[in-house]
Amino acid sequence: MAMVSLPHDPMIGFKRNKLDVVRGKYNEWAIEAILSSGAPIDLTGAVVHFTVWSKRKVREQELTYWDPIIDVSSNDPEVDVTDPAAGLLSIKLDRTTTEAIDPALYFYDLWYEESGLRIDLIQKAEFRVQE
């Protein structure tokens, strides 16, 4: 199970957690969203989003991402909040989803929306697709 720990309670998330994906295979990750204190992030009523970006542009100190190749949320079957109060969720990408992605290095965000606010759990982390 991957641990997602926010460095402070709660603000922009942390930028680790590389995901390695095998192209054309089923891929699944179990994630525990916790605060730096070790307490779980309560995701009750929140919509969790998982977005993978195909391109990134660096301009001075600004990074711009566009062209999402995967853009799913807990409203879709790919993101399952298994225990909202404990901050437990899973991301599942089926064979047909990963089959359509060329091997390369991409970037992903994992975040949730609550009361109209975006709160990042993982921001701009590596998503590497391999044969």
The CATH superfamily of 2-130 is Immunoglobulins (2.60.40.10)
Among 38-42, 62-66, 83-87, 123-127, top mean pLDDT goes to 83-87
Query: What burial class does residue 103 get, using C-beta atoms within 10 Å of its C-beta: 0-12 exposed, 13-18 middle, 19+ buried?
Result: exposed
The CA distances from residue 87 to 14, 25, 58, 114, in Å, are: 16, 26, 33, 14
> pLDDT per residue over 47-97, tens digit each?
999 999 886 655 666 666 667 899 999 999 999 999 999 999 999 999 999
pLDDT of residue 16: 52
Q: What pLDDT sits at residue 24?
A: 94
CB 95 within 8 A of CB 22: no
Reported pTM: 0.81
Q: How far is CA 77 from the centre of its chain?
A: 14
Structure tokens at 49: 């989003």
